[in-house]
Structure formats: structure tokens, C-alpha cells
Chains A and B, each alone.
Chain A
């Protein structure tokens, strides 16, 4: 079967940050690239972490936040902003997710779609056999290539 693979629909973009980049700089990169998250790499372009919008948001909320039903119970509504200011200059490596879930260029659309559904990923890094960053697959790139794909006779 001629199944679609990551290499057919990935975005060949090498946007990355380093562990010691400041949180505020990473927020700016996410804003300008419209990526929901980016890889943290070492000096060899190997993926060592991943930092997404959610990681930064979570870092600004109190640890008991998940136990609350709504944000209305937060003692101070400015808490989030205050916390974000506090961590703005800190190295992003502190808030990155490790280890990182990655895919390979030859992984199939089905495999990646399954991963996105089960783990609620918005963007997944694509790496080579040495864990070197090659690009990203996003939800929309998966959806778009799935929509365009012709069904085989058996699948119909």
C-alpha cells in the first residue's frame, strides 16, 4: 500500500531553541513562527527537549491549579502574569519536556495521527536516526494530507 509517511507532509523547518535561551525569547519565537512548541537542541542539533505554550503556561500556575475546577478560585488574578514575569529571564531548559516524543521521516500517517489523538499533541518533531532535528509535523499537516489522499480500492 502506498501509505503516506512523515517525509511527505512534514514541514521542513528547523526552528529550534537552546536550553539557556530565556523564556521570554522562546515566547517571541512561538509567536512569530505560530508554532505551538519548539525543540530544544544541543550544539549538535540533537533534540534534548521540547517546550510548548502549555509548558510555559503551566510553569506560571500554582501546582494545585489542576485540582481547581475553575480559575476563579485563584487567590490573586494577577498571579499568572506575576509568575510569567518572574520566569521571563530564566533558561527555558528548566521548563522543557524531556524526553521528547519524536517521529521519523518514514513513520506512517496512521501512526502519527494515532499519536496525535491519543496524546493530544499539536506538533511533533521529526528526527533522523541520530535524533537530529529534521522538521515538524503538525495537526493540520496531518489533516491536510489525509484529506488529499486518494483511498485505495480495498479501503473504499
Chain B
């Protein structure tokens, strides 16, 4: 086993394609237009890594009937994914998307998700500590369910660091700002899809982003990735700061899954001996490659290699 993928709040993604979707009427969906896929950022990363031939153990909190369906679907995905979810009593969340390709609408219904008890968290951490020793790298990614403190990323990283593991994070600001008080990951990637805040503040100028990235490096991260205006990234290492931009037109409606592809490709690059800025370069190429087509399917390694030529990296500090 190479990777421990931590997905504290997994979700069952359900997609219905209903053309001319109408409210207040019966909409019938044929089975082939009713998709059910395991989701949640950590799970997505594990699924992408399995396509690159990398073994992961996926952990998190899972519960109820939705949880069982998610697990059954995940087990079908690949024998390279081992699961070790802590079972809870509360029901796992379900994200329902209704896509209408005629009227170009996307209606989403997301359940709020489960509540996790203190006892569950204690049991989870006990099991996590056993599993973490068996892997090289830990990826913690995505939201956290109710009941789990926002500093959990820090707690889990502190344990991983006890065993000298490399740790990746992708999360939103509330989680990162509380968790870095406990421990810093090696690779810190901000999820800014819902909010562009960094440590509680809205940043606007490029200079502010550069400074924020440098500060995280000074405090203990080895590689920091801050997305800027959705399609750009500021990337910092101990050697400097770079701005990454795409050389190709990005269709914003194709961005689904590009963040997870970014993380998975960086993990792949790290396992294959790449370091620092080259890891970020590979990740960014994957994200841009993913944004070149619709759907959640990750780009192949060959596509990522090709897209390395479709990105510009400019040193800014």
C-alpha cells in the first residue's frame, strides 16, 4: 500500500440527465442516464490514483444505506483501492445533480451529511494510527462532517509526522487555518471553490497571494498551491514563488474534478521521484488536461505529459 487517502466526509454522487427537466411534473430517467458514483475529495483522489496503478487505503466516516451503496460502488471501482471506513450510525451524504442538456441547467440537491460522535472520532484516530504506518504518503482532502473539529487535519498530520510520512492537504480555509496551529503538511493546496479567503482574509492583489504563499513556506510547508482567479495558481517552495497559467482556453463548465486531478497527479509525481516545483507542474498539467473535456473521468498519464507543454510557469519571486 502506497497511499492513505483520508476522506472524512465521503458522498454518493448521483447524476440524472433529464432533458427538458420540469418542476412540478413527473420526470422519467432511463437507467443509463442515472449515474451513481462514489465521491468526496479523498475518495476521488483514491479513484484517480487507482487509474495510475497506485494502491491506496481509503478511510473516513461512513454510515447508513447511502454509505453501503457508496462502499459497494467503490469496491467495484478497482482492486487497488482498499477501504477501511469507520462505520457510524448517521447517514452518509448524497449529492444529487440533475443535468438538463437541452436547457443547459444544473439543479443540485446536496444532503447536509452525517453527524459524527466523539467516540467515533476516537475510534477513527486509533485505527488511522495503525494504517498510517503501512503507507508512504497521506492525502487528506475535502470537507469534514458535523461533530468533527476543524483542527482534525492538524491532529492527523501530527500522527503521520510521528512516522515520518509525507502529508498532502487540500481543504478550505476554515480547516487549514485551525489545523496549521497543530501541524503543517508537506504539500498545502487551498480549495477556493466556495470562498477565496486565506486565513480569514480576502486577498486581491497578486502580491498578497505571493506573500501568503511565502508565509506558509516559512511556517513549515514544503510546497504551497494557492489558486488564483480559478484557472491560475501561485506555487511556492523554499526556492521561490511561481505563477502557473494555462496556454489553452479553459471552459469553466469543465472544471469539475480538476482539483482532485491536481492532487492525485502530484502524489503520482512524488511517488515517481519528482520533487517540489516539478510535482506542482505535473499536478497543474493534470488539472488543465482535465479541464479540456466534460465529466469527472481523470486525464491519462499520457495526456498529462502532453499538457506539460500547454502551461506557462513564470517566476514571480
Q: Which residues of A contact B (CB under 8 A)?
A: 7, 11-16, 18, 25, 28-29, 32-33, 41, 43-45, 132, 134-135
Q: Which residues of B contact A (CB under 8 A)?
A: 57, 63, 75, 79, 81-84, 87, 123, 126-127, 129-131, 133-134
CB–CB A12/B131 < 8 A: no
| Most central of A14, A33, A132 by chain B CB within 10 Å | A14
CB neighbours (8 Å) of A43 from chain B are: 129-130
Q: Which residue of B lies closest to A135 (CB)?
A: B82
CB–CB A44/B130 < 8 A: yes
CB neighbours (8 Å) of A11 from chain B are: 75
CB–CB B134/A29 < 8 A: no
CB–CB B84/A13 < 8 A: yes
Q: Shortest beta-carbon distance, B274 to chain A, in Å?
A: 28
CB–CB B131/A7 < 8 A: no
| Most central of A13, A29, A132 by chain B CB within 10 Å | A13
CB neighbours (8 Å) of A135 from chain B are: 82
Asked whether A13 and B87 contact (CB < 8 A) given A18-B126, A45-B131, A135-B82, the answer is no
CB–CB A14/B57 < 8 A: yes
Complex: A134 Cα to B133 Cα, angstroms: 14
Complex: A135 Cα to B123 Cα, angstroms: 20
CB–CB A45/B87 < 8 A: no
CB–CB A7/B133 < 8 A: no
CB–CB B127/A16 < 8 A: yes
Residue of A7, A29, A32 near B79 (CB, 8 A) is A7
Q: Which residue of B lies closest to A43 (CB)?
A: B130
